[in-house]
Amino acid sequence: MDLKGQSLVSIYLRVRVEGVVTVVKLEPLGEGSIVDHELGVLERDFNNSVTNKGKHLISRAALRMDGNGSPNRRMGLCQRLSLARYLNTAGSPIDEMGQTGRHGGDSTDYYFGSNEDETPHRPSTVEDEVHVKNLLKEILTYRESNVSNWIIESKVKRLSAAYKSLLKPHKEGFLKELSRNHAVDHHQVQATARTLIGLEDSLDERQLLKAEERLKMQLTPQYSWLFIHLGRLERGVKFLVDMRTDVLELISELDSKDPHLLPLQQLNSTLRETLSLWFSVGFLNLERVTWRSPCEMLQKISEYEAVHPVRNWTDLKRRVGPYRRCFVYTHSSMPDEPLVVLHTALSDEIAGSMSGIVSAASRMSEEENPSLVKAAIFYSISSTQKGLQGIELGNYLIKRVVRELQAEFPLVNQFSTLSPIPTFRLYLVDRLKAAERGEMELLTSNELDQLRLFLSPDNLWSELRKVLHTNSWVGEVGLMSALEGPLMRLCARYLYLEKRRGYTLDSVANFHLRNGAMMWRLNWRADLTPRGLGNSCGIMVNYRYFLDQLESNSRRYQEEQYVTVSEQVLRLAAASIGEQAEKVTSKL
């Protein structure tokens, strides 16, 4: 049966593993045609995905899709399989391999562990949670024993697999047990501290050092020992990263008076410190992602993109093609996982909009010409692992990529971002409500007069919130012109004047300023996608990386909370109303 060139909705493949016949459903990402693949190739790809031990889990299939029907095996994305659904073939009309839009027979959902020896099992129960807690207690009794490392490794591997099989409520119960009852024994610490104080005047240095070592060990949470052994497992580091994700999520859901909050915060702190050591920049690998990179890496780059979502395979191909560079940091313990992703556009000038980035390549030349590249614009940086939150990776990636680009393009002398302003519109709407209540003066009389030409004078504030919410102002030239002045001014005020503990309120601004960048230019109508309008009314900002000023700028910001800013942003912020604006005016 020849599938070449046919458009498919679904493909069902029957796979026999150790005598068990299962039918696997392949879901294409979107409309397209299967290109240059005979059934033999498909069968080979699926057989290679099933382990000899009979693990019923197929993670990827190597189908390539091309909307134009051209036979290029490198053009396309790996298609996902339905991971948790296998179809019973007893009443199925599907033959050895078949193609259909529907299936017959009942289907069964399973949960899977990561251990290849495991078989599918039922959803977890409270009894399973108790079992995992008991296993934890048993493992921690080995801390000061002479038990073989083989036994410890086997038990820790079982604990890892069992934890991953728990449902969310049972994981939370386990984490509360771990943080509260297996941290630091305060009574032991106090007893050892009293002993150490009693040795203050002792001349026996050996005895003193032993007491200090004992105190140090008792001040270390018990679960730190467990983390070390988990990290030694295959995929164990990834397990700890995912566990910290669960811890952070649980902390965010607890009330400030919950007795489990402080122990969980200590657990999170210990995990962060452990992972910070393991993910030191010296242990990370820099990789450039191209269209010839492994299919799984390309798919993850697409999935993890948080700033400008990848629309389709054509969009992804452009982002790793000519006049673009995509770099990632990976870790040897998680080689197939990009930890942080940086997308860079190469241009002859610093772009002020997303459309400017897209048009730069066509403006310069069809074939990449290094002599035309004068500027590098970092337009998207995404941290992919929530469990690595608070561990600085992005700033090191930017600095490393700068060195790579300087080596490849000697004429590049301008480095800048084109950054989103994620929460500006939320800030703006909140201020509009306050102005409507008469609690603050937000717009000047001239700005109000201009807006009354397009909005109802009687319901000015509510109508203004409505047009910003629906983005209907984008299609009206007059209203767009009337909004440009106040929105740009208020955005500069938000970025430059609004602070939290002395540092900029905007998280993206805080990140780049800590790196030593300058708040360089605000750009009107820079991102008119629904996301761009929803985040910041289409405004974006360039943060310039002047290489000879990075260290001094970073030090002044972190030590003195001083924001290095251009005259354009400074003048916009000075046009704001209130006491803060007076300080900016005096600076000018």
Q: Are 464 and 455 in contact (CB under 8 A)?
A: yes
* Local confidence band at 102 (pLDDT 50, 70, 90 cut-offs): very low
What residues are labeled active site? 419, 512
Average pLDDT over residues 181-197: 85
Residue 249 has phi, psi (to 5 degrees) of: -65, -40
Percent of the chain with pLDDT over 90: 65
The count of residues in the chain is: 588
Residue 24 has phi, psi (to 5 degrees) of: -110, 135
Q: Are 5 and 33 in contact (CB under 8 A)?
A: yes
Q: Name the DSSP class of 472.
A: G
Sheet holding 85-87, edge to edge: 97-99, 11-17, 20-26, 85-87, 107-109
Q: Which two tokens stand for residue 83?
A: 């991971």
* Local confidence band at 121 (pLDDT 50, 70, 90 cut-offs): low
Q: How many helices (H) and strands (E) does the chain have?
A: 22, 16
Residue 436 has phi, psi (to 5 degrees) of: -65, -35
Q: Are 554 and 517 in contact (CB under 8 A)?
A: no
Q: Are 409 and 346 in contact (CB under 8 A)?
A: yes
Look at residue 353 and give its three-state secondary structure: coil
β-strands 375-383, 414-417 pairing? parallel
* pLDDT (tens digit per residue) in 297-312: 999 999 999 899 999 9
Percent of the chain with pLDDT over 70: 77
- For the chain, which domains are there? 11-109 (no CATH), 126-184+220-278 (1.20.140.90), 289-417 (3.40.630.150), 424-587 (3.40.630.150)
Q: 């929105």: which residue's tokens?
A: 487
The pTM of this model reads 0.77
Distance CA 291, CA 74 (A): 7
Average pLDDT over residues 358-373: 88
pLDDT of residue 588: 53
Distance CA 25, CA 8 (A): 12
* pLDDT (tens digit per residue) in 523-565: 999 999 999 999 999 999 999 999 999 999 999 999 999 999 9
Q: 């608070």: which residue's tokens?
A: 390
* Local confidence band at 64 (pLDDT 50, 70, 90 cut-offs): very low
- Tell me the HSE value of 406 on the side-chain side, using a 13 A CA sphere: 10
Is the confidence at residue 33, as pLDDT, over 60? no
Quickly list DSSP for 33-56.
Answer: BB-S--HHHHHHHHHHHS-TT---
Q: Are 104 and 87 in contact (CB under 8 A)?
A: no
β-strands 107-109, 97-99 pairing? unpaired
* pLDDT (tens digit per residue) in 139-177: 999 988 888 999 999 999 999 999 999 999 999 999 999
